[in-house]
């Protein structure tokens, strides 16, 4: 059933938190940091040497669910804007005014944690270069640190067009999903034939926009009204299609781009589209079992805390990893060879150190925000 403007769907919160948490865990796991024979630093993706792990990427790459929940959030936010700006006579402001209010609220919440992140990264890079840090290494580290910002950029674009796409959803329903999916396929085929990388950029909006449209359907309850048998067949048939596509010579099996292979996600195309069309029905099938558990008081409090910190954790997890790695290098802590038994056995300690450091950063930013809020009052 559809959600009212004031209701809360903790299952959507759970999906968003899991999607962002999977990115954090994935980046921390994939970081294969070691030393070469001369003692120099070597950074690689562990999947390049342990390619047998590629099936895990089908389960742990949950990016489609992030944009699916983004569609749900945009739809419910739009409903709140319309409800709160409607006057006592029942008249709402014009579409442009509603759009301005909606965009200000959506992007304001998105940019609030982003501004201090960007400012701090820029300051650290400037100081590092002024102190004589190698420009090439500094540039590489900076690219790694700001890499998650593509999420934010695409999310912002989708928020800007959400009111229009929501109107199309209400008028045409599933036909919009089909049209976007066909457009994804056309763009990818043109990219493969022409080799023009710029062509593929359109799919950042089309692929993740398809997930957003399904999020609209979740918000109005139409997805939940589908028969469970139909949803199960949906998941199975698309999974078969995904397996067939990745078994072909044109698309890689791994959802993470590996050396010597064309990345399925940069730019996105038919593979991430199909992955999302598998993950979303699976989530729908799990919802009746999982959702009731999330309203238990202790579970709800834990989920609310995790959900509230998930975007900031997503933004800061790579700077934390870079900082911890730098400290270990200064302390001359040995790095085990990636993929070895010792490397795997030390992963729990690695996760614990990174997790503690990330918790410290989030706690410090919480304290700073609280002090700033008190100062404003």
- Concatenating the DSSP letter of every residue in 117-141 gives HHHHHHHHHHHHHHTT--HHHHHHH
C-alpha span between 177 and 188 (Å, rounded)? 17
Average pLDDT over residues 9-24: 94
Tens-place pLDDT, residues 333-374 = 888 888 889 989 999 999 999 999 999 988 887 777 667 656
Rg of the chain over all Cα atoms, to the nearest angstrom:
22
C-alpha span between 201 and 198 (Å, rounded)? 6
Q: Which of 184, 204, 214, 182 is nearest to 280 (CA)?
A: 214
* pLDDT at position 129: 82
Q: How far is CA 340 from CA 29, 97, 228, 250, in A?
A: 13, 59, 44, 31
Task: Enumerate residues 6+ apart whose C-beta is below 8 A from 121.
Answer: 142, 145, 146, 319
Q: Where are the domains of the chain?
A: 10-376
User: 126 or 259: which carries more pLDDT confidence?
Assistant: 126
Task: Enumerate residues 6+ apart whose C-beta is below 8 A from 108.
Answer: none
pLDDT of 72 > 60? The answer is: yes
Range with top average pLDDT, 3-7, 76-80, 283-287? 283-287
**Which tokens is 203 given?**
């799919």
176 — pLDDT class (breaks 50, 70, 90): very high
**Which tokens is 185 given?**
């396929």
* pLDDT at position 5: 44
Average pLDDT over residues 19-46: 82
Query: What pTM was estimated for this model as a whole?
Result: 0.89
Tens-place pLDDT, residues 99-150 = 888 888 888 877 777 877 888 888 888 888 887 777 877 787 788 788 878 8
pLDDT of 89 > 60? The answer is: no
Tokens 């999977």 identify what position?
Answer: 22
Q: Which of 24, 240, 250 is nearest to 147 (CA)?
A: 24
Residue 43 has phi, psi (to 5 degrees) of -125, 125
C-alpha span between 128 and 279 (Å, rounded)? 42
Q: Is the dihedral of CA 136, 141, 144, 146 positive or negative?
A: negative
């Amino acid at each position: 059933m559809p959600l009212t403007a004031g209701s809360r769907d903790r299952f959507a919160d759970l999906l968003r938190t899991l999607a962002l948490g999977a990115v954090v865990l994935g980046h921390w796991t994939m970081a294969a940091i070691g030393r070469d024979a001369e003692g120099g630093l070597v950074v690689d993706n562990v999947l390049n040497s342990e390619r047998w792990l590629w099936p895990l990427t089908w389960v742990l790459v949950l990016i489609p669910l992030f944009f699916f929940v983004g569609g749900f959030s945009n739809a419910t936010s739009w409903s709140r804007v319309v409800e709160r700006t409607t006057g006592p006579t029942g008249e709402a402001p014009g579409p442009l005014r509603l759009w301005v209010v909606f965009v200000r609220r959506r992007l304001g919440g998105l940019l609030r944690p982003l501004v201090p992140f960007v400012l701090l990264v820029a300051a650290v890079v400037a100081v590092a270069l002024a102190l004589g840090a190698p420009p090439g290494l500094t540039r590489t580290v900076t690219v790694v640190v700001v890499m998650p910002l593509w999420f934010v950029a695409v999310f912002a674009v989708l928020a800007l067009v959400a009111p229009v796409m929501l109107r199309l959803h209400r008028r045409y329903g599933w036909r919009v999903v089909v049209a976007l999916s066909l457009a994804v396929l056309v763009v990818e085929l043109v990219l493969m034939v022409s080799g023009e990388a710029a062509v593929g950029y359109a799919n950042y909006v089309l692929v993740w926009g398809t997930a957003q449209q399904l999020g609209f359907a979740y918000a109005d309850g139409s997805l939940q009204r589908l028969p469970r048998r139909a949803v199960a067949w949906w998941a199975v048939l698309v999974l078969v299609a995904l397996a067939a596509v990745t078994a072909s010579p044109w698309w890689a099996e791994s959802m993470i781009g590996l050396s010597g292979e064309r990345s399925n996600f940069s730019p996105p195309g038919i593979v991430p589209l199909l992955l999302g069309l598998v993950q979303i029905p699976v989530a729908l099938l799990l919802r009746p079992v999982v959702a009731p558990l999330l309203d238990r008081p202790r579970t709800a409090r834990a989920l609310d805390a995790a959900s509230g910190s998930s975007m900031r954790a997503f933004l800061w997890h790579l700077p934390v990893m870079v900082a911890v790695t730098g400290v270990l290098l200064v302390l001359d802590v040995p790095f085990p060879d990636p993929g070895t038994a010792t490397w795997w056995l030390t992963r729990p300690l690695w996760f614990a150190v990174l997790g503690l450091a990330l918790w410290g950063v989030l706690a410090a930013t919480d304290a700073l925000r609280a002090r700033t809020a008190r100062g404003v009052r």
